[in-house]
Structure 1
Amino acid sequence: MDLSFPAYLYDKYTTNPDDLKEGLFKGKILIQGFKAVFTSPLSAKVIEGDGDGADVIENNRHASKAHSGVKVKKHVAQIIQMKKVTPRSIAYIACQTIVDFFEKPPGQEASRRVDRLLEWWTRKVFGWSHRDELSSTVKATMSVNALVRQRTARDDATFDLP
């Protein structure tokens, strides 16, 4: 059976054909992505079990007390006063994963496959006349790619300091 949703949205990347909602939106990658964005990259490493989430809040309290006088960085959920997971926050993370698929291919062959897929979409939506607009040159000038280059250059410059 073909899944309607991407496999990464399912627990163990699969579902029960007799109960298609079983495991949906419980995928490990989805949970890790959510925790990395909203609570902290470190918290994303621990997703096993049915914890009540108090560990994230409690760990942050301990960090604040342990480093009294030292400013402790708050995680996004604290900054935006997020107290519970919402459908939109789950969808946001699922969308981020999809965006990363297109914008951060892991190599030249993956990049070529993304280019071909985007060309296919452009042809399907706009026809052949706009196909060349997604050339590597055009994509290289997109602000998101320029931002990646700028951040990389700044990071490299930081490590090059004496």
Structure 2
Amino acid sequence: MAKPNDLEEGLFKGKILLQTYKAVFTSSSSAKDVEGDGDGADIIQNNRCAKKSFNALKVKKHVANIINMEKVTPRSITYIICQSVDGDFDYVQLWQTIVDFFERLPGQEDQHRVDRLLEWWTRKVFGRSCCDDLSQTAKENMSVNVLARQRAAHDDAAFDSPS
């Protein structure tokens, strides 16, 4: 239910919208046990159970897998919202209004709220946050990269030292 003083609260977080999204982009079976709220922990648990139960079965790739979709995007949400058909409804205007909500933001706080909403969607659909992408600093500090730099330094020191 919309709050008159905060229309953004709960916007784009409906259970049916989430189920429809998952049915289109992941699979109809993944949409069965969807909850509209929460942090996505249920999706992670469902993925673990699915891996155990389908371990011996061959599973077809879903649309998100085929197109290498790893995050929920504003336009993919908009696509799902515009799927129903009503002859007199202006879907072009609806499409543009939703895209503008996500992409034409007046300030940084608005951008932060949209980013959080997209993270919520990605957790609910894929069971991980879109912030899971490692920053360059995090990659540089991974032990394998630190080890490579240390080895290079040892090689340089050995090459420079008199034998």
TM-score tier by shorter-chain length is 0.3 to 0.5
More helix by share: 1
TM-score normalized with structure 1 length: 0.45
TM-score normalized with structure 2 length: 0.45
Structure possessing the higher relative contact order (Cα contacts under 8 Å, 6 or more residues apart): 2
